[in-house]
Amino acid sequence: MHVRGTVAGDVEVRTVSTSYGESELAEVPVRLAVESDHLDDVTTTTSPFDAAETETDGGTLSDGGAHAADPTTITLWNKWTESAELLEPGMELLVTNAEEDEFRGEQQYATTGDSYVVVAPSFHVNVTAIRNWVECPRLYYLNKLSGVPLNYPVVKGTLVHEVFGDLLRGRDLEESIDARVEERGLELGLLGETADAVAEDVRENATAIEGWLEQGRLTAENEETAATAGDDSEAAFTPAESSWRSEQLLISETFGIRGRADAVRRGAPVELKTGKNLKKEPRFKDKVQAACYALLLEEHGGDVDTGTLLYTKNSALDRNEETGDLTPAKEFSMGDGLLKFVVRLRNELAAMEVSGDVPTGYEGSAKCEYCFEQDTCMVVSGRLDQESKAGQIGQALPAAEREYFDRFYRAIEAERRAVHREFAKLWEQDAQERADDDRALIDLAFLESTELAEGRWELRARRTGGATSKLREGDLVLASNGHPVRGSAELARIERLDEDEILLTADEPVEVTRLDVYPSELTTDRLLAALHDALLKGDERRKDVLFDRAEPEFEPLEETFIPNNDAQDEAVRKAVGADDCALIHGPPGTGKTYTIARAIRAMVERGERVLLSAFTNRAVDNALEALLDQLDGEIGEDSVASPAQRNGDGEAVDVVRVGSESGVREDMQPYRLDRAGDPGERAATLQNAQVVAATTATCGSRVMKEQRFDAALVDEAAQLTEPGTHAAINLADRFVLVGDHEQLPPVVQSEGGTRRVSSGANGDEPRAADLTESLFERLVDRYPEAGVMLTKQYRMNQRIQAFASQEFYDGKLRPASGDVAGRTLDDLSGVTRDDLPTELRDAVTFVDVDGDGSRYTDSEEAARIAEMVEEYRAAGLDAADIGVIAPFRAQVSELSKHVPDEVAVDTVDRFQGSSQEVIIVSFTATDSLEGPIFEDYRRINVALTRPKRALVLVGDANALATDPVYSRMLEWARR
Ligand SMILES: Nc1ncnc2c1ncn2[C@@H]1O[C@H](COP(=O)(O)OP(=O)(O)OP(=O)(O)O)[C@@H](O)[C@H]1O
Residue 910: the pLDDT is 83
Residue 652: the pLDDT is 66
Q: For 76-90, 229-243, 955-969, which range has the lowest pLDDT when averaged over its residues?
A: 229-243
- Residue 401 φ/ψ, nearest 5 degrees: -75, -40
Three-state DSSP class for residue 397: coil
Closest CA to 954 of 926, 925, 921: 921
CA–CA gap between residue 878 and residue 903 (Å, rounded): 9
Residue 473: the pLDDT is 84
Closest CA to 838 of 882, 875, 873: 875
Question: Which residues, 6+ apart, have CB-to-CB distance to 522 below 8 Å?
Answer: none
Query: Most distant CA pair in the chain: distance in Å?
Result: 97
757 has a pLDDT exceeding 70: no
Ligand 1 pocket list (CB less than 6 A): 562, 564-565, 568, 586, 588-594, 794, 913, 915
Three-state DSSP class for residue 929: coil
Residue 237: the pLDDT is 42
The rounded percent of the chain whose pLDDT value lies above 70 is 88
Enter the DSSP assignment of 755: -
Q: For 182-186, 244-248, 332-336, 844-848, which range has the lowest pLDDT when averaged over its residues?
A: 244-248
Three-state DSSP class for residue 847: strand
CA–CA gap between residue 115 and residue 393 (Å, rounded): 44
How far does residue 803's CA lie from ligand 1's centre (Å)? 20
Amino acid, single-letter form, for residue 955: G
Return the best residue to mutate from 584, 618, 794, 910 for the ligand 1 pocket (most ligand atoms within 8 A of CB): 794
**Helix (H), strand (E), coil (C) string for 515-582:** EEECCCCHHHHHHHHHHHHHHHHCCHHHHHHHCCCCCCCECCCCCCCCCCCHHHHHHHHHHHHECCEE
Question: Which residues, 6+ apart, have CB-to-CB distance to 345 below 8 Å?
Answer: 130, 133, 134, 288
- Beta strand ranges found along 50-113 (DSSP E): 54-56, 59-61, 72-77, 92-95, 99-103, 106-110
How far does residue 816's CA lie from ligand 1's centre (Å)? 10
Q: For 600-609, 848-857, 903-912, which range has the lowest pLDDT when averaged over its residues?
A: 848-857
Top-confidence residue, 318 or 272: 272
Q: For 62-76, 720-734, 769-783, 787-801, which range has the lowest pLDDT when averaged over its residues?
A: 62-76
How far does residue 773's CA lie from ligand 1's centre (Å)? 26
Amino acid, single-letter form, for residue 533: D
For 551, half-sphere exposure in the C-beta direction (CA atoms, 13 angstrom radius) is 7
Atom index in ligand 1 nearest the CA of residue 914 equals 26
pLDDT in tens, 404-424: 999 999 999 999 999 999 998
- Residue 861 φ/ψ, nearest 5 degrees: -60, -45
CA–CA gap between residue 903 and residue 36 (Å, rounded): 50
CA–CA gap between residue 77 and residue 89 (Å, rounded): 19
CA–CA gap between residue 414 and residue 528 (Å, rounded): 12
761 has a pLDDT exceeding 80: no
CA–CA gap between residue 168 and residue 165 (Å, rounded): 5
Residue 456: the pLDDT is 83
512 has a pLDDT exceeding 60: yes
CA–CA gap between residue 204 and residue 218 (Å, rounded): 22
CA–CA gap between residue 925 and residue 960 (Å, rounded): 7
State the pLDDT confidence band at 499, using cuts at 50, 70 and 90.
confident
Please state, as a whole number, how many other Cβ atoms lie within 10 Å of the Cβ of residue 935: 11
The two counts, helices (H) then strands (E), for the chain are: 32, 38
CA–CA gap between residue 618 and residue 598 (Å, rounded): 19
pLDDT in tens, 295-315: 999 998 888 999 999 998 887
CA–CA gap between residue 198 and residue 243 (Å, rounded): 31
Three-state DSSP class for residue 810: coil
Question: Are 536 and 383 within 8 A, CB to CB?
Answer: yes
CA–CA gap between residue 705 and residue 537 (Å, rounded): 12
Question: Are 446 and 461 within 8 A, CB to CB?
Answer: yes
Residue 645: the pLDDT is 54
Atom index in ligand 1 nearest the CA of residue 794 equals 12
pLDDT in tens, 427-486: 999 998 888 888 899 999 999 999 887 778 999 999 886 566 678 888 889 999 999 988
Amino acid, single-letter form, for residue 369: E
Residue 36: the pLDDT is 47
Instruction: Please give the average per-residue pLDDT across 579-605, as a whole number.
Output: 96
Closest CA to 706 of 202, 277, 147: 147
Return the best residue to mutate from 594, 714, 740 for the ligand 1 pocket (most ligand atoms within 8 A of CB): 594
pLDDT in tens, 321-341: 777 888 888 999 999 999 999
Closest CA to 953 of 867, 797, 840, 874: 840
Most confident of 9-23, 629-643, 817-831, 952-966: 817-831
How far does residue 740's CA lie from ligand 1's centre (Å)? 14
Q: Name the CA radius of gyration of the chain, rounded.
A: 30
Residue 65: the pLDDT is 38
CA–CA gap between residue 539 and residue 145 (Å, rounded): 18
**Domains in the chain with CATH codes:** 1-33+70-119 (2.40.50.140), 131-217+244-355 (3.90.320), 431-519 (2.40.30.270), 538-633+646-750+770-790 (3.40.50.300), 798-974 (3.40.50.300)
How far does residue 592's CA lie from ligand 1's centre (Å)? 6
Question: Are 280 and 330 within 8 A, CB to CB?
Answer: yes
Question: Are 275 and 208 within 8 A, CB to CB?
Answer: no
How far does residue 794's CA lie from ligand 1's centre (Å)? 6
Q: For 302-311, 491-500, 635-644, 824-833, which range has the lowest pLDDT when averaged over its residues?
A: 635-644
Please state, as a whole number, how many other Cβ atoms lie within 10 Å of the Cβ of residue 215: 11
Atom index in ligand 1 nearest the CA of residue 792 equals 8
209 has a pLDDT exceeding 50: yes
CA–CA gap between residue 580 and residue 542 (Å, rounded): 7
Residue 920: the pLDDT is 95
651 has a pLDDT exceeding 60: no
Question: Are 327 and 277 within 8 A, CB to CB?
Answer: no
Question: Are 679 and 178 within 8 A, CB to CB?
Answer: no
CA–CA gap between residue 468 and residue 497 (Å, rounded): 11
- Beta strand ranges found along 602-702 (DSSP E): 610-614, 644-646, 652-657, 691-695
- Beta strand ranges found along 424-576 (DSSP E): 440-441, 445-451, 457-462, 476-480, 489-497, 501-506, 514-517
Return the best residue to mutate from 593, 618, 805, 944 for the ligand 1 pocket (most ligand atoms within 8 A of CB): 593
Buried b / exposed e along 843-859 (16+ C-beta atoms within 10 A):
bbbbbebebeeeebbbe
Inter-CA distances, 854 with 860, 922, 925, 930, Å = 10, 14, 9, 12
Closest CA to 952 of 792, 825, 813: 825
224 has a pLDDT exceeding 70: no
Inter-CA distances, 696 with 55, 263, 397, Å = 42, 34, 26
CA–CA gap between residue 503 and residue 494 (Å, rounded): 6
Residue 592: the pLDDT is 95
Mean residue pLDDT of the chain comes to: 86
Could you tell me the end-to-end alpha-carbon distance of the chain, in angstroms, rounded to an integer? 68
Atom index in ligand 1 nearest the CA of residue 594 equals 18
Residue 216: the pLDDT is 65
For 828, half-sphere exposure in the C-beta direction (CA atoms, 13 angstrom radius) is 20
Atom index in ligand 1 nearest the CA of residue 915 equals 26
- This prediction's pTM: 0.89
